Structure formats: C-alpha cells, structure tokens
Amino acid sequence: MLKFPYCNVTDLNQALAQCRFVGLLGPLASRRQSPRAVVSCSPSSSEFSLTPVQAVMSCQQQVGSSLVNRLRLGGLTEDGFSYKEKFIIRGFEVGINKIATIETIANLLQEVGSNHAQSVGFSTDGFGTSPTMRKLHLIWVTARMHIEVYKYPAWRDVIEIETWCQNEGRIGTRRDWILNDVATGEVFGRATSKWVMMNQDTRRMQKVSDDVKEEYLVFCPREPRLAFSEKNNKSLKRIAKLEDPVRYSKLGLKPRRADLDMNQHVNDVTYIGWVLESIPKEIIDTHELQAITLDYRRECQQYNVVDSLTGLELTEGSKMVSVGTNGSATATATTREDDHDCHRFLHLLRLSSDGREINRGRTEWRKKPTR
C-alpha cells in the first residue's frame, strides 16, 4: 500500500484537505472513461498517479488511527464504489417483541448513507454535499424512499448494510441499500431512494450541473446497479392522493424537539412514525410492516401541526372483510382473495392549518411470524 510519510493528520477531512486532486475538471465523458488524479499529502512529498477513488481510500488508510475510524465498523469496498458498515441491534432499537423497528432500519439507512458521503470526502455538515454544491448553496433533499424488510433483525443481531449511489435523471440522484444478516449471510431487506437538488436559500429545485456530476460520479458504479430489479418493482409505483373522508386518522401531531435533525428540519424517519400513528390497532397487533413507500412533497418545520390519514388501498381482486367506524382506527382492512394475510394502505400527511400535502405513502403488512 502506498505510504505518505509527511502526512500528519487526525481525521479523514483533514487528510482530504491536504491531499491535492489534480486534473479532475475535464469533461464528464473522459472522466467517466478514465478518471485520473495526482495525489500528494504535502507539497514536499512524492506524487502518485491514482484514480480519485484510490486517492480517497489511500488517504483514509493514513488516518485510520483516528478514534472514529477505529470504532466504526465500516468502509469503502475494494472497488470504492460502495460502502459497507456493520451494526449490532441494541436494546433501545427494538420493540416489545425484541425485534428491530422500521424506524431503526430507516435510521441505520440514513447513518450508512451519511458515513458513505463522509468516507469519500464530502461534507460533514449533514447534507453530504460536494465542494461545488457548497459553493452554490445547494443541498440534497429526499424525494422518495422505499424500504422492504423480509425478516426483521432481533436484539443483539449483527447486520451489515451496503449502500451506493448513482445518477438519476437531470435533477436527481439515487441511493440504494442491501441489508444482510452477518451470521447467516441472508439478505433480509432492501431499500432505494431518490434525491433532488435544492437551492438552500430559495428552496427551489435545481438541475444537477455537469460540475456537480463530475464530483460524485467518480464514486458511483460504472454500470447501473439496482437494489430491486426493474421488473415488478414496487418502488416505482405511483401513489394516489388519499382524499377525505378517510376511515382512519390521527390529528394534531406536533414535532418534538427530538424530531429535528442537525439541519433544523423534521427528520425523514419521523414521517414514518406519523404514518404508523393512524394504522388500525388490529393491524399493529397482528401484522408487521413488510414494505413502505413515501413520497416527500413538502418540508415540515418545528412548529407545524400535522394530520395523519390512512385509507384502504383497493386493488384488483380486493374485497371488504369488515366495516369500521369513520374517523377511528378500530377496523380491519381489505384483503385480496388470494392473499388473506396481506393488507395494504394508502397514507397522507398534511398540514392541519391548510391541508397542504407533506407526504404521500403506501404500506403493506404481513401476518406476524411465530418466533
């Protein structure tokens, strides 16, 4: 492994600040074919011809003695195009059945995505932004999140999450995850998300420029890689708007201070909890969430008041199996004639003040397994 004897740094950010990346401003096409960089850790050290990915990984090795890097059980994969990290499911991350909650899973997805961004030298301010984005006051915001869990990990299980990102159209990017049980090697979950670029000052969407693409595409897989195959991909399914009257609702939800993230906005995972607030108790008691899709349509601030609405998703072959009380969460759901244990719901989070949409969602629930 290459050594940089004149490096004297204590963390990755300092290392990357000292490393010089030369020749990274060429056309995107040539960068994608053969990205090259000359890296040195001080003006007096020798220069080595490396790809940007190799340069980052090499600088990471030089700061591996820092406390955070020693304790974190994660890092870039050998090709540098994805990031893996291991976690132990802790007691405060499980419910009464000692099984990890969907909020725990979603929080770990966020953590791995953030650590991936930091590992390649992007900002540590919580936005995962590149140098050009910071200069132009641009940030990434979540547009859609889709999570499927085939089997929930239990207390003290060790899991490994792999993540990577890639280009997604003119105004966005895509991040995918695969979740594995370390003991068995079994894939127990997958997730995908779409992110769009927003101007931090005007709060308007903005096209991803070639300059920004050049900064992050060098760390993305060369060929499209998807956590879900495009065939029968539920993450792509359009979510219809839920209209009143609805069968189930929970009104007047207020963000707590603990719901705010480091960027002073309500954390994305909080929306999942709000969606679950209006799920019928009979479903919560007998079923577990197997898939959730959320479309994020509006930012939620600390002093907003939110209504959570839930309705039955009627699909082809569905029929009503019981009738509930309007405005309550005490009725059961619809079922498909060939799938009596699976229940599907549509969701809407809206501002109590004027009814504007914050989030649309869809959930699927399966019968809880016998453990």
Report, as residue numbers or ranges, the catalytic residues: 263, 265, 300
DSSP annotation of 166: E
Number of Cβ within 10 Å of residue 35's Cβ equals: 20
What single string gives the DSSP state of each residue in 31-96?
A: HHHS--EEE-SSTTSPPEEE-HHHHHHHHHHHTTTSHHHHH--EEE-TTSS-EEEEEEPPGGGB-T
What does the alpha-carbon distance between residue 344 and residue 238 come to, in Å, rounded to a whole number? 14
Number of Cβ within 10 Å of residue 309's Cβ equals: 22
Q: What angle do CA 34, 35, 39 make, to 5 degrees?
A: 135
What does the alpha-carbon distance between residue 143 and residue 271 come to, in Å, rounded to a whole number? 13
DSSP annotation of 298: S
| Those residues with Cβ within 8 angstroms of residue 253's Cβ, 6 or more apart along the chain or in another chain | 274, 277, 305, 306, 307, 308
* Contact yes or no for 59/48 (Cβ under 8 A): no
Of 361, 189, 353, nearest to 279 (Cα)? 361
Q: At 139, which helix (H) or strand (E)?
A: strand 138-149
Q: Which two tokens stand for residue 350?
A: 């809206």
What does the alpha-carbon distance between residue 321 and residue 95 come to, in Å, rounded to a whole number? 29
Q: Which two tokens stand for residue 90?
A: 């802790």
Exposure string for 223-260, b = 16+ CB within 10 A, e = fewer:
eeeebbeeeeeebeeebeebeeebbbbbeebebeeebb
| Helix 102-119 and helix 268-277, axial crossing angle in degrees, nearest 10 | 170
